[in-house]
Structures are given as C-alpha cells and as structure tokens.
Structure 1
Amino acid sequence: MSRRGFCFVKNLPLQRKLMLIIMLSCCGTLLAASVFFLAREAKGLYRAQREDLVSLAEIIGANTASALVFDDPESAQRTITPLAAKRSILAVYVLTGEGQIFARHVAPEAGNAELPLERLGPSATPDAVLAAVEQIRRGSQGSSLFSGFDCLVQPVYFDYERVGTVVIHADTAEFQKNLRWTVMVTLLFMLATVIAAYFFSARLQRMISGPLLDLLSSMKDVSASKNFAIRVAKPSDDEIGLLYDGFNEMLSEIEERNQILRQRQAHLQQLAHYDPLTRLPNRTLFYDRLAQALYQAERSRQVLSVIFIDLDHFKDINDTLGHRTGDLLLIDVASRLSSVVRSCDTVARLGGDEFTIFTQNVMNADNAAIVAGKLNALFAKPFQLGESEIYVTASIGVTLFPHDGKTVDELLMNADIAMYHAKACGKNVYKLFDKKMNEHANERVTLLSDLRLALEREEFVLHYQPKVDLLTGNVTSVEALVRWMHPRLGMLAPDKFIRLSEESGLIADLTDWVLRTACTQAKKWQEQNLGSVRVAVNLSPYHFQRQDVKEAIFSVLDATGLEPALLEIEITESALMQNDEYTCELLRELRGLGMTISVDDFGTGYSSLSYLHRFPINTLKIDRTFILNMMKSSEDQAIVTAIIAMAKSLNMQIVAEGVETVDQLEKLKDQGCHEIQGFLVSRPVTAETVEQFFTPENHLHQHGNATAGGGAAAPGAPS
C-alpha cells in the first residue's frame, strides 16, 4: 500500500476501519477458499475426462493390436468406429509403429476443430505424422483449456511389444460446461457469503464501535459542559468494559481534584481580597470597590466620603497584653465598624490597626461628620477581651468626593492626612479634610527629608533643664533636651521632629548622639570642678527594640570617661513594658553600676502601678499634664497624690515635671514630693547657661520670689 493510501486508511472513522478490516478478512479468506475449490473441482473434472479417454484408448489398443500385427486395417476400422461413436469423441487414430495412419474415425462435429493430423493431409510422410503425434503428446496437458479439445496419445502393445499408437481427440465442451457451472455456483456462493459477511460485520463492528462511540460522545459532553459528575454505564465485562471503568475512575479523580482546586481557588480568592483576621475586604478589594463607587458617584453626581480610622496607642496594647489580645481587639473593632454602615458602604482593613470606610451618597460634609461621630462613639464602650476590659480610642480622618479629590489614591491620602491631624489634636476625635492640611503634609515630608541630613550637618544641639530638690533648693541633676537648629525654620522643639524620627527609624541614631553629647558635656563639667551633677538622657522605646542598649551606653561611657553614677536614664512606661524581661534585666544591670533609672511622663501609659515593684526604678517623674491641672481638677490632684503615696511606699524618688507656679510648688511640697522641674526654676537652656545653677544656693527660694513677683513663665510653653 502506498503512503498516501496508508494515510487515507489511517484517517478513516473507527466504524469504517472495522468494516474494512472485517470485510477484507472475510473476502480474502473466501477468495482463497473459492480458488482452492475451483482448482480442485477443475482438476477432478479433468481427471475424470482423462481417465475416460485412457480407458477408451486401452480398449481400442487391445482390440486393434492383432489387426496391426496382421496388417488388417479394415478390422481395425471396424473396431474403432463403434467405440468412437461417443458424442464427446472428435477423432480416433490408430497408427502403425512406423507412423502410418492405420485406421481413423473423425466425427462430423470435428469439422470446426483444427485437428493436427487432419491438417497434414493424406500425402503426409510417416515422419511428419510421428512429429505431429509427438507434438500432440507434449501439448495434451493444456489442450482441453486452450484448443477446445483434449488429446491422448496411447501406445499399443502386443505381447509386450509396441506395435502402434492410438491418438484420441475428445471434445471439452462438457468439461467446460461443468467448469462454468462450478464457477457460477462458486461466485453466487461468494456473493451470498459476502453479503452475509457484510451484515454480520456491520453487526459486529457496531458491537465494538458502538460502545466506543458512546464513550467518545460522553467525553465530548464532559468537555463541553465541564460537568465531571457525569458517569457512563458499563456495556460489558470485556476490555471495553474495563475502558468504561477507567473512564469513570478518571472522571471521579478529576471531579475530586476539581473540587479541591475550586476550594483552593476560593481560598486564594479570599486571601487575595479579604483580611484573614477580620474577614473584612483588604486593600486590593477596597481599592477596586472604591474605584467602582467613584465611577457611579461621578455619573450620578453624588457625594461620597472616604474615612480613615487608626486606633490610638494600639502598639502599647500589643506590647503589654500580647499580640493575641491585639488580634482579638481588631476583630471586635471590625465587628463594631461593620455594624454602623449601610449595605452599600464598605469597611476594610488596610493593615495593622488601620481601617477604611467609604460611604455613598452622603449629600454633604455635615452628613459625613455625623457618620464620623457615630464611629467615634463606637469606642466609648470598653472592649471585652476574655476576662479583660480594654478602653481604646480612635483617630478618624474624613475626606469627600468630589470636593477634596477625584481618585482613589488622592482620597485615601487626604483621609490619611486628616487622620494625622486628628491624632495631633489629642486623638479620639475626627477631622474633616481641609486643603490647608496638604500644606502641613508637604511641610512634614520636607521636614522628614531635612531630618535625614540633620545629623550629618550637625544641626542638633542640646539644652539642659535643672531638677531641684524641694528641701534644699539645690540642683540634683539636669535633663538633656534636644533641639534642632533648622537652617530654614530656626530652632525646633522636640515635638516638631521626635515623632518623625520615630516613624522614619532615625530615633536610634538621634538618641545615640544625645547620649554621647550629654555624657561628654557632663564629663567637662566634672573636669571644670562644677560639681558632680547628674545628666539625664531620655531613651526612646524604639531604642529598646534593638536589644543593644547596654552596649550603646557602655560604649559612650568608655569613650567619654564619665562615671556611671553621673548618668541618669529616663524611659517611658511603654518602653518599660514592651519587653519587660529584657528591660528588667538591663535596668537592674545599669542600676547595679550606679546609674539612676527614672520613669518619664508617669501616669499616661497603660501599665499597672503594681508592676513597678518588679523593676529597679529609682525615680518616678509625674507627667506635666497632671501638674498643670492639679490646682483646678480634683481628679488630677487625686492622681498626683496617689502617685506620690505609691512611690514613697516603694522607696522611690518623686520628680514633678512642668511646675510653673508657687501654688503648685507649695502643694507638691505639702504632699512630700522630692524634686521639681519646670519653668518655675528654669526653662531648658544651653550648657553654658545651666552652669550658673551648679552652686549651693537655694535656687528654689530665689526663683520662688521671682515668681511671686510676677516673673513666672507662661504656662504651657514647650520644653
């Protein structure tokens, strides 16, 4: 088969391939059997005809042998004429041994046949006759098929001596008739057999191809519908049945894997668009929903508000109560926020303790303010987290579309700016965005950029504020307070840049610089014989997160040569609690070297007073806000009284910050406060100016008279 024919057969449908195989097998087998049968039948007919001729030749030979011996042609002629009267005999010749025709009989039907001896004619020589007889003998095997007659040459013996030859020509019409009949019957049988084989083959191929085609149809249905729950009925228990079983098993496995894949896709979709802790939409989904809401609001000319919410002091909760409690708090906050918005609005968690909300169709800023007020009110009730009740506040920034911005990023940025202004205003409030806030934000970005270069340019300076003993009026120590000599904005107080330095990660480098500069200055005072005055340095909570506070302090002391007893470390409550085991061990080691440990701004944090006995604390500094209000607020007065009483019970020194009036001074003295610090004594001043306080004079009495005379500093001035 040619390559083209092979490709054609290869690409035939399965049904036609099966039919072709079956029919070719049947027809090939039938053809071989028919050919064999015809050959066998033709051979049998031919053998019967030859045997008949041989018998006749033997009879003629036996009856004409004596006539040949005695040269009696008439007797031979009489002998052969009756024997050759058979219809199938065309001619009989009796020849002598020398080749002469001794007797002959030629049937009338032989006229049309071209008999060899008749073609020689009566004048033929004996040699020609013998040559013709030899030719007849050699061609006798095929004469019946090609010449229309059969020939037989039979020798005649008398007493075992050859005396002549008998030549017989027989008509093969009967033989050919029988052969044609046999061929016709065979062909009819073959045709009937082929027809029967065709219908049988069609039935058989349907038995094989039908289930396969049904399986193929089911495969197409599954592929088109993607319904892997489809199952096919097993048609039999043979190999095709096993194929059906395999197909069903494959569908089951695919269905199971597809179900797992759908579950994983749903989980990934959930992770990609929802916060795993609170189940609120995350930043990605919030951006997408807000973008769609802005498009609809623009088409319908509606006002939309974007609200940014940040929890106040959330880090302190994580540090003191643990991250698990912080997570529970975030979950409860998310639940409360979701409870006050409409179904068309969206609450999302951007990350950490930051939440965002957009509310549609708020009409105006007043309605947005009402929503923000409701959100603030959510934090008035405590959060029940296990057995603990926690009060948490939130700072909220609100911006409006299209008044304040028209894009997602612009609105979120404006809401974030408004939220920071809310924090700057004391927290637990909301602020509506004002375009002037952008100017402050830009200034903040610029200030942050300048802050990164301030240390390299040596733009920071230290001022010092003395602490005075209430009994003697002598200075016990000075607190180092950093100032920034900004080249453009002038002298900046800490409240302008400390928060920025904490957010940018520069606070650690700044604290190292303050510590080194303060210790260097204290060493100079000691060398100038100005007295052994301690210098107090504030360590940021971020400094304790580095776990290398001790190494930093020891390095500065070694570099400056300052005695540890002349260094006072001030830390906040949050720094005290955020890593209490490490902090406790560190403070114990520092105090063991002679350093003084003070807790700054005491009373504003979340730690319990009972925790203090665990830490090696020398001094508590009462926050200036309580001192400023103690003369007009009974609650603040009670707090001051409680702190002083508690500190005394723990044998700690008490320093009151922000003392500005004689009344405050007298009240603190009556309650047993040990030291004060504030404008009543001195503002923060340069190192050269603060040296005048390093004398044994009663600076408290001197400044107390000045204050009584009207020289007190204005309350609330920054330190």
Structure 2
Amino acid sequence: MSPLRLSFVRNLPLKRKLMLIIMLCCCASLLAASIFFLTRDAKGLYQVQREDLVSLAEIIGANSASALVFDDPESAQRTIAPLASKRSILAVYVLTSEGQIMARHVAPEAGNAELPLERLGSSPSPAAVLAAVETIRKTAEKNSAVSGFDCLVQPVYFDYERVGTVVIHADTELFRKNLRWTATVTLLFMLVTVIAAYFFSAKLQQMISRPLLDLLSSMKDVSASKNYAIRVAKPSDDEIGLLYDGFNEMLSEIEERNQILRQRQAHLQQLAHYDPLTRLPNRTLFYDRLAQALYQAERSRQALSVIFIDLDHFKDINDTLGHRTGDLLLIEVASRLSTVVRSCDTVARLGGDEFTIFTQNVVNAENAAIVAAKLNGLFAKPFHLGESEIYVTASIGVTLFPHDGKTVDELLMNADIAMYHAKACGKNVYKMFDRKMNEHATERVTLLSDLRLALERDEFVLHYQPKVDLLTGNVTSVEALVRWMHPRLGMLAPDKFIRLSEESGFIVELTDWVLRTACSQAKKWQEQNLGSVRVAVNLSPYHFQRQDVKEAILSVLEATGLEPALLEIEITESALMQNDEYTCALFRELRELGMTISVDDFGTGYSSLSYLHRFPINTLKIDRTFILNMMKSTEDQAIVTAIIAMAKSLNMQIVAEGVETVDQLEKLKDQGCHEIQGFLVSRPVAADAVTEFFTPENHLHQHTDPAQPEPPQGASPATRP
C-alpha cells in the first residue's frame, strides 16, 4: 500500500477504522471460506463427472474389446450407438492399438471443429490419431475448464493385453450449471453475511468507539474549563474501563497537584507582595499601587499624600526586650495604622520599623496634616504585648502630589526627608515636606561623605570636661568629648555628626580613636606630674555588638601604657541591656582590672532598675534633662531623688550631669549627690587647658560665692559620642 493511502487510513476517525478493520476481516474470512467451499464443490462435481465417464468408458471398452480383436467395425459401432441418446456425450471414439478409428459417434451439437479428432479429417493417418489421443490425454483437465467439454482416454484390454483405446468427449454444461448455482448461492450467502457483518460491526464499533469518544469529549471539557474535579463514569470493567479509571486517577492527581501549585503560587504571591510579619503590602506592592494611584490622580487632577512613618527608639526596644517583643510591636503598629486609612488607601511596611501610607483624593495640605495628626494620636496609648506594656512614639513625614513630587521615588524620598526633620525636632511629631529640607538632606549626604575622610585627615579633636566632688571640690576625673574641626563648617559639636556616624557604622572607628587618644593624653598628663586623674570615655552601643571589647580596651592600654585604674568606661542604658550576659561578664572582668564602670544618661532608657544590681557598676550619671528641669518640675525632682536613693542603696557613686546653676548645685548636695559635671564648673576645654583642673583647690568655691555671676540658663550641654 502506498504511503498516501496509509496516511489516509491512519487519519480516519476511530469508528471508521474499526468498521474498516471489522469489514475487512469479515470479508476476507468469507471470501476465503467461499473459495474453499466452492473449490471443494467444483472438485466434487468434476470427480462425479469423471467417474461417470470412466464407468461409461469401461462399459464401452468391455463391449467393444471382441470387436477390436476380431476387427469388427460394425460390432464396435453398435456398441456405441446407444450413446446417441445421452445428451451429455458429445463424441465417442473406439480406436485400435495402431491408431485406426474403429467406431465413432459424434453428437450433432458437438461442433466438429472443436473436437481434436474431428479436426484431423475423415481419414486421418494412424500416427496423427495417436498423437491427437496423446494430446487429449495430457490436456484432459485443461480442456474441461477451457473448451467446455471433458475428455477421457481409456485403454481397452482383452486378456490383459491392450487392444485399443476409447476416447470420450462429454459436455460439461451440467457441471458448469451446478457450479454456477453453487457460486450464486455462495455469493448470495456472502452478500447476506457482509450486510449482517456491517450492522454487527457498526454496533460493535459503537461499543468500542463511543466510550472512547465520550472520554475524548470529557478530556476536551476538562481542558477547556480547567476543572480537574470532573470525573467520568466507567462504562465497563474491561480495558476501556481501566482506561476510564486511569483517566480519573490522572484527574485526581492533577487536581491535587494543581491545588498544591495554587497554594504555592498564592504563598509566593504573598511573599512577593506582602510583608510576612505584619501581612501589610511590602515595598514592591506599595510601589506598584502608588504608581497606579499617581496615574489616576494625574488624570483626575486630584492631590495625593504619601506619609512616611518611623518608630522612635525601636532599636532600643529590640535590644532591651528582644526581637520577639519588637516583632509583636510591629504587628500591633500595623494593626493600628490600618484602622485610620480608608479602603482606597494603602498601608505598607517597607522594612524594619518603617511604614508608609498613601491617601487618595486629598483636597489640600491641611487634610493631609489631619491624617498625620491622627496617626500620631495612635501612639498615645500603650501597646499591650503579652504581659508587657510599652509606650512608643513615631516620627512622621508627609509629602503631597503633585506639589512635592510627581514620581514614586521622589515622593518617598521627600517623605523620608520630612520624617528625618520630625526626628530632629524631638520625635513624636509629623512634618510636612518643605523644599528647604532638600538642602538639609544634601548637606547631610555631603557631611556623611566628609565624615569618612575626617579620621584620615586628622580633623577630630578631644575636649575634656571635669567631674567635681561635691564635698571636697576636687576634680575626680575628666570626660573626653569629641569635636570635629570641619574644614568648611568649622568646629562641629557631636550632635551634628554622631547620629550620622551611628547610621553609617563609622561610630566604631570613631570610638576607637577617642579611646586611644584619651588614654594617650591621660598618660601624657601623668608623665608631666600633673596628677593621676581618671579619663572617662563613652563607648558606643555598637561596640557591644562585637565580642572583642575587652581585647580592644586592653590593646589600647598596652599601647599607651596607661594604668587600668585611670580609665573610666561610660555606657548608656541601651548598651547595658543590648547583650546583658556578655556585658555583665565584661564589666566584671574590667572592674577586676581596676577600671571604673559608669552608666551615662541614666533614667532615659527602657531598662528596669532591677537589672542594675546584676551589673558591676561603679557610677550612675543622672541625665542632664532631669537636672535642667528639677528646679521647675516636681516630677523631675522626684526622679532625681529616687535615682540618688536607689544608687546609694546599691553603693554606687552619683554624678549629676548638666549642672548650670548654684541652686541645682545646692539641691544636689542636700540630696547627697557625690559629684557634678556641667557648665557651672567648666565647659569642655582642650587638652592644654586641663592642667588647671589638677590643682588641689576647691573648684566649687568660686561658684558658690554669691558675688560670682551664674552662667547663662539653658546653655546647650556637650553631646557625647
């Protein structure tokens, strides 16, 4: 079969293929059976005819044997004369053994020209007769099938001696008639059988193809609808039923995998666009939503506000109460922020303690300010986190579209700048963005760049401020305070660059420099016989994130040759609680070496006073804010009194920072404070001017003299690194 026909058959529908296969098999089987039986019947009819001819030839031979022996043609002719009445006999010849025709009978309907012996003529030669007889004998079967008559050559014997030959030509019309009838009956049977087979095959192919086509239809439905919950009913328990079972199992597996895939996609979508802690939109989703909102606001000519929120002192909460508490706080903050905005607005967490909000359809800046004020009000109530109750505030920056920016990045950057200004203004407030803030931000970036080079250029200097004993008036120690001699901006106080140093991580290098320089200077004073006065250095909280604080301090002492007893380490409460186990062990080791440990700015942190007895602390320094307000605020006075009483009970020294007036001095002396530090005694001075502090005179005498003028009220105290 040609490839084209094979392709045609291959592309036929399944039911056509089944019909074709069944019909071909049926027809092939019928044809083979018909041919077999037709051939068998033909052979049977032919065999009967041959047997009749043989019997007839034997009779003729037996009757004409004596005539052949005695050469009696008349007797031989009489023998075959009765055959004239037998219509099936066309011709009979009785021949002598030499080939002479002794007797002959030819039926009128035989047609002389068709019989071999008749074609020889009326007086053929014996040799021609014998040759014709031999030909007849060899082609007897062929003649019966081709010429329409059957031939038989039968020898005649007399006393076992061949005396002649009988040649008979019989008409095969009856044979052919019987054969035609048999063939006709066979063909009719085949036709009826084929018709019956067609209807049977049609029914059979439906039994096979219909379930398969139904299954195919179900597959298309599943593919079109993507509904993998569809199941097909099994039509039978055969192989097709097994196919249905397999299809249902496949759908079940696909449905299960599809469900898992949808869950994973939803999870990935959640991870990609939502903050995993607060479930708020993350930076990516916020940027996308804000971009769409800006497009809509621009088309409708409406204003839109972007609000940047940063929690105040969140790092201290993390460091003192742990990250778990910090996470709970962020969740609660997110919940509160979501209660203020409308459904068309978006609250997002950008990371850490930074939250952003954009509000649509803002009429003017006043409306945006109202929203910001509401946000600030959310932090007035404490946050209940398990058994803890925490107060936290937030600094908020607000920008407006299109006045303060027209792109997502520009609006967020300006809101961030406004938020930093809110922090600079004391925190827990909101600030609307102003173009002048950009100048401050630019200056901040420039200052940060200069800060990284300041140490290399030797632009930092140390000033020293004394601590004086209230009973003797003698200086007990001096605190090293860093200043930055900026080449363009001049002398900068710590409040101008310490926060930048902490944000950039430069604070560690700066603190190392302060420690090394202060110890080196104290050693020089000792070598100049100016007295053994301790030098106090404030260590940054970032130092305690490292695990080599002790090694760093000992390395500086070894390099400078300063005795450990002449070094005082000051830390803030947040640094104290940052890694309490490590810090406690460290301070115990430093005290054993002879160093003094002081807690700076005490009273402003988040730690519980009950922690103090665990740490080997020598000194508590009361924060200057309480000292400045103690004469005006009974609450601050009560705090100062409580701190002094508590420190005495723990056998700690008390240092009051920021003392500026005689009234403050007298009040602190009455309450039993041990030492003071502030402008009343001295401003921070350069190292060369410290020598006057080393005299044994009473440095408080001149300040307690009523004739002496008091320093100005409210002067800004030095800010420590």
Return the TM-score normalized by structure 2. 0.97
- 1:198 maps to amino acid: Y
* Corresponding position of 1:398: 398
Aligned residue for 2:150, secondary structure, equals strand
- Once residues 39 and 606 of structure 1 are traced to their aligned partners in structure 2, the CA distance between those partners, rounded to angstroms, is 117
Report the equivalent of 1:709: 708
Deviation digits for residues 600-648 of structure 1 (CA, Å, limit 9, x no counterpart): 1111111122221111111111111111111222221221121112111
Query: Does structure 1 residue 504 correspond to structure 2 residue 518?
Result: no
Aligned to 2:305: 305
Identify the residue that residue 286 of structure 2 maps to in structure 1: 286
Deviations along 1:409-459, one digit per CA (max 9) or x if unpaired, are 111111111111111111111111111111111111111111111112221
For 1:543-692, what aligned pairs fall within 5 Å after superposition?
543-692=543-692
1:630-689 C-alpha deviation (Å, 9 max, x unpaired): 122222122112111211111111111111122222221222211111111111111111
Which shows bigger deviation, 62-71 or 567-576? 62-71
Equivalent AA in structure 2 for residue 669 of structure 1: K
1:355-385 deviations in whole A, cap 9, x for unaligned? 1111112211111111111111111111122
Given that 1:662 and 1:708 are in contact with CA atoms closer than 8 Å, whether structure 2 keeps it comes out as no
Alignment of 1:205-244 (within 5 A): 205-244=205-244
Contact 2:601–2:623, Cα closer than 8 Å, also in 1: yes
1:34-433 paired onto structure 2 within 5 Å: 34-111=34-111, 113-433=113-433
Q: For 1:462, what is the secondary structure of its paired residue?
A: strand
CA distance in 2, matches of 1:164, 1:112: 23
Counterpart code for 2:440: H
* Unpaired segments ≥5 residues, structure 1: none
Runs ≥4 residues deviating over 4 A: none
SS in 2 for 1:246: helix
| Matches of 2:515 and 2:456, distance apart in 1 | 16
Alpha-carbon offset, residue 388 of structure 1: 2.2
Give how far 1:81 is off.
0.8
Aligned to 2:309, what secondary structure does the other structure show? Answer: strand
Which moved further from structure 2: 510-519 or 132-141? 132-141
In the TM superposition, what whole-angstrom CA distance separates every residue of 1:468-506 from its partner, at most 9, and x where no partner exists? 111222111111111111111111111111111111111
Structure 1 residues 19-50: Cα deviation after superposition (integer angstroms, max 9, x where no partner): 22212211111111111112111111111111
Q: Quick one: which amino acid aligns to residue 68 of structure 1?
A: L
Q: Distance in 2 between matches of 1:383 and 1:72?
A: 153
C-alpha distance in 2 between matches for 1:478 and 1:564: 15
Between 567-576 and 356-365, the greater mean CA deviation after superposition: 356-365
Cα distance between partner residues in 1 of 2:296 and 2:124: 128
Count residues with an aligned counterpart. Answer: 718
CA–CA distance in structure 2, aligned partners of residues 122 and 326 of structure 1? 140
Aligned residues of 2:64 and 2:79 also touching (Cα < 8 A): yes
TM-score after normalising by structure 1: 0.98
CA distance in 2, matches of 1:303, 1:144: 115
Does the aligned pair in 1 maintain the 2:62–2:156 contact within 8 Å? yes
CA 1:229–1:708 in structure 2 vs 1: closer, same or farther (change >3 Å)? farther
The Cα of 1:2 is off from its aligned counterpart by 3.5
Tell me whether 571-580 or 674-683 shows the greater mean CA deviation.
674-683
- Stretch of structure 1 that moved more, 554-563 or 309-318: 309-318
What amino acid maps onto 1:629 in structure 2? N
Aligned twin of 1:696: 696
Amino acid in structure 2 at the alignment position of 1:46: Y
* Contact 1:60/1:83 (8 A) holds in 2: no
Query: In 2, Cα distance between the equivalents of 1:160 and 1:328?
Result: 134
Kindly indicate whether the alpha-carbon contact (under 8 Å) linking 1:140 and 1:151 is maintained by their aligned counterparts in 2: yes
Q: Percent identical across equivalent pairs? A: 88
Offset at residue 112 of structure 1 (A): 5.4
AA partner of residue 599 (structure 1): V
Question: Could you tell me how far apart the structure 2 residues matched to 1:633 and 1:221 are?
Answer: 81
Structure 1 residue 84 displacement after superposition: 4.1
Match of 2:538 in 1: 538
Task: Give 5+ residue unaligned stretches, structure 2.
Answer: none
Q: Aligned-pair distance for 1:122?
A: 2.6
Shift, 1:703, TM fit: 4.4
Range moving further from structure 2, 581-590 or 103-112: 103-112
| Partner SS, residue 531 of structure 2 | coil
CA contact (8 A) 2:466 2:478 kept: yes
